[in-house]
Chain A
Amino acid sequence: MLKLDFDNFLNATGEIGFVERSLASLVYVNGLPGAGLQELVVFESGEVGQATALFEGSVEIMSFSRTPVKVGSRVARTGRLLEVPVGEGLLGTVINPLGHSVNALKPLMNVHEMRFVEVVPSGITSRSRIKKSLETGVSMVDLLLPLGKGQRELVIGDQKTGKSRFLLRALLAQVKVGAVGVYAIVGKDQISIKQIETTLSEMGILGKVVLVVSNGDDAAGMIYLTPYTAMTIAEYFRDMGRDVLVVLDDLTVHAKTCREIALLGKRFPGRNSYPGDIFYTHSRLLERAGNFLTTRGEVAITCIPVVETVQGDMTGYIQTNVMSMTDGHIFFDHNLFSEGRRPAIDPFLSVTRVGRQTQTQLKREIGKELITFLRDVEKLHNFASFGAELGEHIKRALAKEERVRQFFDQTAHDRIPGPLQIIIFGLVWSELWEVKSEIEIRGDIQKIIFQYESKPDYRKRVDAYVQSCNSVGALLKRIDGFNTSPSQVPGEAK
């Protein structure tokens, strides 16, 4: 926990306060006549808080201390706003929202700059249109719900529907292409935090990610601060000329914490007892992401906030709030998850508002063909459920749908590079794999991925071929050259 020298600040500012009342995270202090809003204050014990309201003769302070503050304790102003340390030394570390390492044996090194946690988001003149696509390595998202660098895309769904796995894969894909990852874990239990850290380490990308964590039993002030600290760190790396992917997991807990603080502070409750400014609390955070024009060129902060639903209900207050302030949402359906679909994304209920403008012509066509096909097949399912005899064309469509599901199923693979997604799509879409069984298709996909990752020549061939195609027709023309087991396919083998 950050501890400051109380006596120094007391003598420097010449003002003192005494704790009158302590209500969980909120402390009411008598005195401190010159305190300003958001100012950092220090208690006698050395721990810190932030002024959240000013009254005549007293100040309301949000404490960042886990232990309750004693009534009668002395409080001093610091005369400054809350800042966190930033620098290259943050990469690979796990820090708390005040910017200190949670592991006492691994203190932060090489962090020389301090940045304010609360800043006004950049204006329109320093932003640019979203032009570059952001690859997540998850075929379903990259082809059907493409993201762009600088986009804010909400991930929404029930708990235990595979959201975190998707987020980690997106981080993996981005870190592999040189971006920095910032993962904010808001108010989760220690086990979940450790699991995420371990997974990042197993993926080999922990050294390029900053984890900003707060536990469920931390002070409400710390939980409140977590996503803001994460965004401040992202802004530092943006200013250093590096693209950043920020994950905020999750904003539902953050909203509940804001509600707790507001109700304790006797703020008038709004809808569902949330404070009236809950929208602003999140919007001013998400506005700090985007595609920016900096001195080092165009650099993007892509933000993926997470919001949980209950029983798939997307119409909740916080859910609809965050949906309206983001550039799209990816919906994880608990029904699809229980059917075994991985990822359990419902492409019909998901939206991407700016990702398509970053796609190539080919990818756009692929996305269009796929979504149209899936929609049509959905109707066929309704028809097929009657139990009547199905025509040949319906059977072929259902079989093709099954192949497409096999293609989208990404249980085993963390990341499928973009060009490979297109090649596999081509094989699935063509008639080459019509007679193959589920297991054979899965095996072929694994072979292709293995070849791509281990054989540079194969990789070059794939990349060049994908570059040369600008339509689905052109793609399918010579796709058989990439078929892994041509002897099993009727027709030719090349």
Chain B
Amino acid sequence: MAITQKTISSILRTVRTKDERDQAENAVSVLEGTPYQAGQDSLEDVLRRVVPLEIAGVIHKSMADAERAGGEEGRKEFLKTLKDALAALRVVRLELAIEPTEELIEHIADWILRDLGEGFILDIGFDPSVLGGAKIIFDGRYVEKTFDAELRSLFVSQREDLVKELMR
């Protein structure tokens, strides 16, 4: 059976951050192990224990479709493809001066999707020393656009003028 790129993309669209990717990978591991586990709980309940509701719903539906279309082999192929796709996601790390809210994460994720395309996830860290702005780390590259850096360079380049001003 053909696991359509659309199916995988729909799942990946729900994964916005590194934490969510880790949860999704965890979900895939659980699903790979479920045929070998005895228990009363349904698959959906098992999924909801390890991933957020949104991700659980999409993964469960897609896996059920794959199983219906290709049986056990289809299910295995789907889980393998999903696992590889999750591992291939590239991480953009941001260090911000504030703890990000859900809205902020959504806003940044939309920007990433719009400007960089699919296949990127966020890893947001909290570093109050930056004061404002962000440190951006991607694929080993580092860009610092923070108030802290700006102020430091200001104090270096304008030192004499600042001292004169303060001593006035």
Do A14 and B149 have beta carbons less than 8 Å apart? no
The verdict on B144 contacting chain A, using a C-beta distance below 8 Å, is yes
A20-69 at interface with B (beta carbon < 8 Å): 30-34
Apart from A13-B142, A16-B141, A30-B140: 16 A-B pairs, beta carbons within 8 A: A10-B142, A10-B144, A11-B144, A14-B141, A14-B142, A14-B143, A15-B140, A15-B141, A16-B137, A16-B140, A16-B142, A31-B139, A32-B140, A33-B140, A34-B140, A76-B142
The 3 closest A-B pairs by CB, nearest first: A31-B140, A16-B142, A33-B140
Place the interface of chain B in its size category. under 10
The chain A residue sitting closest to B139, CB to CB, is A33
Interface check A150, CB cutoff 8 A? no
CB distance from B142 to the nearest CB of A (A): 4
Q: Which of A10, A14, A16, A33 has the most CB of B within 10 A?
A: A16
Q: Is the CB of A17 within 8 A of B140?
A: yes
In chain B, positions 56-102 with a C-beta closer than 8 Å to chain A are none
- Is chain A's binding surface mostly helix, strand, loop or mixed? mixed
Contacts of A31 in B (CB 8 A): 137, 139-140
A interface residue numbers (CB < 8 A to B): 10-11, 13-17, 30-34, 76
Most-contacted residue by chain A among B141, B143, B144, B149 (CB, 10 A): B141
Tell me, in angstroms, the Cα distance from A422 to B140 when the chains sit together: 69
How far apart sit A17 and B140, CA to CA, in the bound complex (Å)? 6
CB distance from B144 to the nearest CB of A (A): 6
Closest Cβ–Cβ distance, residue A248 to chain B (whole Å): 38
Sample 27 A-B pairs with CB under 8 A, ordered by A number. Answer: A10-B142, A10-B144, A11-B142, A11-B144, A11-B149, A13-B142, A14-B141, A14-B142, A14-B143, A15-B140, A15-B141, A15-B142, A16-B137, A16-B140, A16-B141, A16-B142, A17-B140, A30-B140, A31-B137, A31-B139, A31-B140, A32-B140, A33-B139, A33-B140, A33-B141, A34-B140, A76-B142
Contacting residues, chain B, for A14 (C-beta < 8 A): 141-143
Residue numbers in A under 8 Å from B149 (CB-CB): 11
Chain A nearest CB from B52 CB (Å) reads 26
User: Who on chain B is nearest to A14 by CB?
Assistant: B142
Chain B 121-162 interface 0/1 with A at a Cβ cutoff of 8 Å (1 = within): 000000000000000010111111000010000000000000
**B139 cross-chain contacts in A, Cβ below 8 A:** 31, 33
Interchain nearest-CB distance for A43 vs B (Å): 15
> Which residue on chain A has the smallest CB distance to residue B144?
A11
- B144 contacts which chain A residues (CB < 8 A)? 10-11
Nearest CB on A from B80, distance (A): 22
- Interchain nearest-CB distance for A58 vs B (Å): 9
Complex CA gap A10/B141 in Å reads: 10
CB proximity of A304 to chain B, nearest CB, Å? 45
Q: Which residue of B lies closest to A18 (CB)?
A: B137
Minimum Cβ distance to chain A for residue B143 (Å): 7
Complex: how many Å from CA A10 to CA B137? 11
| Cα of A216 to Cα of B8 in the assembled complex, Å | 56
Alpha-carbon gap, A232 to B13, bound state (A): 57
- Can you list, as one digit per residue, whether each of B98-132 has a CB less than 8 Å from chain A (1) or not (0)? 00000000000000000000000000000000000
CA distance A383 to B125 in the complex (A): 87
